[in-house]
Structure 1
Amino acid sequence: MNVHDDNLGLATDLSFHRESAIVEAHDDYLVVRTPDAPDYFFGNLLVLPRRPAVGELERLEGDFARLVGAPPRIAHRAFTWPESAEGAVDVEAFVQQGYDLTVCRVLAAHPRALRPVAINPDVEVRRFESQQDWDDWSRMQLADMPDPDDIRSQRFMANRKAVYRQLIDRGLGDWWGAFIGDEQVGSLGLFFLDGIGRFQWVITSERHRNQKVCKTLVTEVIRLTEGLSNRLVMVADEAYHAGAIYEAMGFRPQAERVASLCREPGSPAAL
């Protein structure tokens, strides 16, 4: 399964999973399970060595049920794999069965290779210090989800908050907020695992977007953590604009992307 070691996105994902979940090798897969968070789709998945081919859907779903779990406890299906840097990802047979495809770019940089960018001088950047910081973080993250009131979304957020706080208590990183006055307007996590700094969940509140909050937050966090790692990694959905922001700062696209398929509970093919 060393095929994943050359992909910084998957490698750092797996580093996180090994700190907070169960990662085991079975046949051609890496199996990731988070038993206390069955609603965490990408914490309960199969990591594949390559893109799934037409005709493999039935076998993969059977292996997922056998190795990860099945309804009612595990009601989704999720797979991820390394992708080439360019080109379309053709998994139409899976999409027709209710799966959503996500393809993420992987970007990396040496901290000193990053370029200065315009920032918002009204934004203060600091580590989370209080329960209020985490409560505001939860509200902002939930507001960015398709169904914030869904109990599964709320359980997922509660689990992620507990995991991140445990990693912070162990000295593996911090969660950082961007504040204008007393209002939290953005946040991100930066954790250092296996010598690499990996960013997590960079977000700006909806009404403060396009105000250089993200650039300010990332720039300041890199400055405040200087010396902790010579390699920083971002993974960004290529369907959104965030990757362009990071490239403008000096992050460079890597040779491979990360692709995933997820069929959530309640999708037409899952009913």
Structure 2
Amino acid sequence: MFRSLALASDALVMQGQSVFEAYEDRVVMQTPDEPDYRHGNLVIMKHPPGDALAQVSQFQTDFPDATHRTIIWDVPGLDPAPLAAVLIPHGYELGTSDTPPSILRYGTPDRRMALSCARWPVRLTGPL
């Protein structure tokens, strides 16, 4: 289901707690018992962002009541610079993670930034 070993591992660990819905362009991961859990209620995009703001809108469609936004791009080697250029002006923060490609975060008071690693993802965080 995932290109990233980290995402595949997360999915294995979350079995029984999270529900995964696969679509042509994304996988929606929901953790019904913890709707505010950012790492368990997210959208994993399968392709590089063509229109990053449209993908943010897709998250809002998939999680209309969410108090956060977490999007991961399961695209190893994705260059975060174009993504950051579009989303940082809208209140997102860019960071990287030791899990898959790019992660877009928006909302929730916990704004931890992970360490950079060129082989892995990028994280964007910001307010609603």
Same fold (TM over 0.5): yes
Q: Does residue 28 of the first structure (1) align with residue 25 of the second (2)?
A: yes
Quick one: higher RCO (CA 8 Å, sep 6+), 1 or 2?
A: 1
Instruction: Show the counterpart of 1:80.
Output: 72
Q: When the two structures are superposed, what TM-score results if normalisation uses the length of structure 1?
A: 0.37
Q: CA deviation at 1:105?
A: 3.7
Instruction: Show the counterpart of 1:64.
Output: 59
Runs of 4 or more, structure 1, over 4 Å off, are none
- In 2, distance between residues paired with 1:32 and 1:84? 19
Instruction: Show the counterpart of 1:261.
Output: 124
SS of 2:74 mapped into structure 1: strand
Q: Does residue 238 of the first structure (1) align with residue 101 of the second (2)?
A: no
Instruction: Show the counterpart of 2:41.
Output: 44
SS of 2:70 mapped into structure 1: strand
- Per-residue CA deviation, residues 170-228 of structure 1 (Å, 9 max, x unaligned), is xxxxxxxxxxxxxxxxxxxxxxxxxxxxxxxxxxxxxxxxxxxxxxxxxxxxxxxxxxx
Q: When the two structures are superposed, what TM-score results if normalisation uses the length of structure 2?
A: 0.70
| Consecutive unaligned residues in structure 1, runs of 5 or more | 107-149, 154-236, 244-252
The count of corresponding residues between Structure 1 and Structure 2 is: 115
Instruction: Show the counterpart of 1:160.
Output: none
Identity across the alignment (%): 23
Q: Which amino acid aligns with 1:79?
A: I
Tell me if structure 2 keeps the 8 A contact 1:24–1:31. yes
Instruction: Show the counterpart of 2:92.
Output: 99
Q: Which amino acid aligns with 1:78?
A: T
- Per-residue CA deviation, residues 105-151 of structure 1 (Å, 9 max, x unaligned), is 46xxxxxxxxxxxxxxxxxxxxxxxxxxxxxxxxxxxxxxxxxxx9x
| Consecutive unaligned residues in structure 2, runs of 5 or more | 100-107
Which structure shows the higher helix fraction? 1
Q: Which amino acid aligns with 1:76?
A: H
